[in-house]
Amino acid sequence: MHLLVTVVEEPEKIEPILDMLYENDITGATVIDSRGMGHMIADHYSIFSRFSNLTGSHEGETHNNVLFTVIRTEETLERAIEIIKEVIGDLNQPNTGLLFTMRLDRVEGFATPLKDE
């Protein structure tokens, strides 16, 4: 099992990602509104205040989303990553997002607990 975590810098791309995951039988994702450190610094330190104007940063404003999903198999994990890259584009480009995975050895809280296959 794997945890797939994706930071999506453009919130309008979350729904297309979720739609495509669902269409590929990848369900059970959680999305959290988030703000990056740069936006937080711009709001609190006058030296960075000009960046606030450039990025549209305002106190309490959401700037990106974090998507979490638990995935059972390597094959499904690879498909999910392909979908995310298809919607977001090249994650190595600035202001696109970040993706990472972690192996999980135990997950509970579903109707049927997930187990290693």
Cβ count near 26 (within 10 Å): 19
For the chain, give every domain's residue range. 2-34+64-103
* pLDDT given for residue 50 in this prediction: 52
| Residue 48, pLDDT above cutoff 80 | no
The CATH number of the structural domain formed by 2-34+64-103 is 3.30.70.120
Task: Grade residue 46 by pLDDT with cuts at 50, 70 and 90.
Answer: low
> Whole-prediction pTM value?
0.77
- CA–CA separation, 48 and 39 (whole Å): 9
Backbone angles phi, psi at 14, to 5 degrees: -65, -50
Q: Which conformational region is residue 39 in: left (phi greater than 0), alpha (psi within -120 to 50 degrees), or beta?
A: alpha
* pLDDT given for residue 77 in this prediction: 97
CA dihedral over 73, 102, 24, 85, signed as positive or negative: negative
Q: What is the mean pLDDT of residues 77-92?
A: 97
